Chains A and B, each alone.
Chain A
Amino acid sequence: AQKITQTQPGMFVQEKEAVTLDCTYDTSDQSYGLFWYKQPSSGEMIFLIYQGSYDEQNATEGRYSLNFQKARKSANLVISASQLGDSAMYFCAMREAKKIYNQGGKLIFGQGTELSVKP
């Protein structure tokens, strides 16, 4: 079973509009972290935002916010006021606390959503 599911392979958004990228996850661990990364066409992987499973408030970092709905196991990324430079692949990832000591705490990635911002 997929641990991280991103159901939108590709999305378009008009410049200056907001966009939501979906992410659902599957874990039996009570303690976990959720991350979003951006991968531009140049290939690098850029950390955007983090949400902890025990955090009561949704995380925000500048134009990025994370809509965390724990009961639904969803962690959607919201980008406000899209810019042309936001065009990239976006990955949702999870790290489970129980796996840290016996499986190296690896990040489990979704398949990504390719976002295109139109002028």
Chain B
Amino acid sequence: EAQVTQNPRYLITVTGKKLTVTCSQNMNHEYMSWYRQDPGLGLRQIYYSMNVEVTDKGDVPEGYKVSRKEKRNFPLILESPSPNQTSLYFCASSLGDRGTNQPQHFGDGTRLSIL
């Protein structure tokens, strides 16, 4: 089954404790992206990747890191999480990036609570 898989689905942790949210897709998609969803602010892009070893900042990259060493994986790293990073996070992927007609397929989301 074609899908984007995020782990964990839920995480409660404490300020300053490094964490990684994994994202993997099995559709051979070139484009991958991370979003965060917050009440009243909607979905905002954190980082994106056009292809392997190519990553760039989105609208709200502060406090996050990403890597794209393999086509299928795009982990999101919080080196020193803070409470303002408490949010619902989504990983998304799409086939290529040549046009506007490729839907981005989303993972099931990761609910992070930073205490």
Contacts and interface: CB of A to CB of B under 8 A. Distances in A.
A105 B58 CA distance: 10
Nearest to A32: B100
Highest count of chain B CB atoms <10 Å: which of A31, A106, A110: A106
A100 B99 CA distance: 8
A47 B35 CA distance: 15
B103 A106 contact: no
Contact of A47 (B45, B56, B103, B108): B103
A95 B43 CA distance: 13
B105 interface: yes
B100 A52 contact: yes
Size bracket of the B interface = 20 to 34
A47 B104 contact: yes
A55 to B, nearest CB: 9
Contacts of A42: 108
A107 B104 contact: yes
Nearest to B45: A106
Please give me the 7 A-B residue pairs with the lowest Cβ-Cβ distance, nearest first: A33-B100, A45-B106, A104-B48, A106-B45, A44-B108, A43-B109, A109-B43
Interface of B: 31, 33, 35, 42-43, 45, 48, 50, 56, 58-59, 88, 90, 92, 97, 99-109, 111
Given A43-B111, A106-B45, 10 more contacts: A37-B106, A43-B109, A45-B90, A45-B92, A104-B45, A105-B31, A105-B48, A106-B59, A107-B104, A111-B42
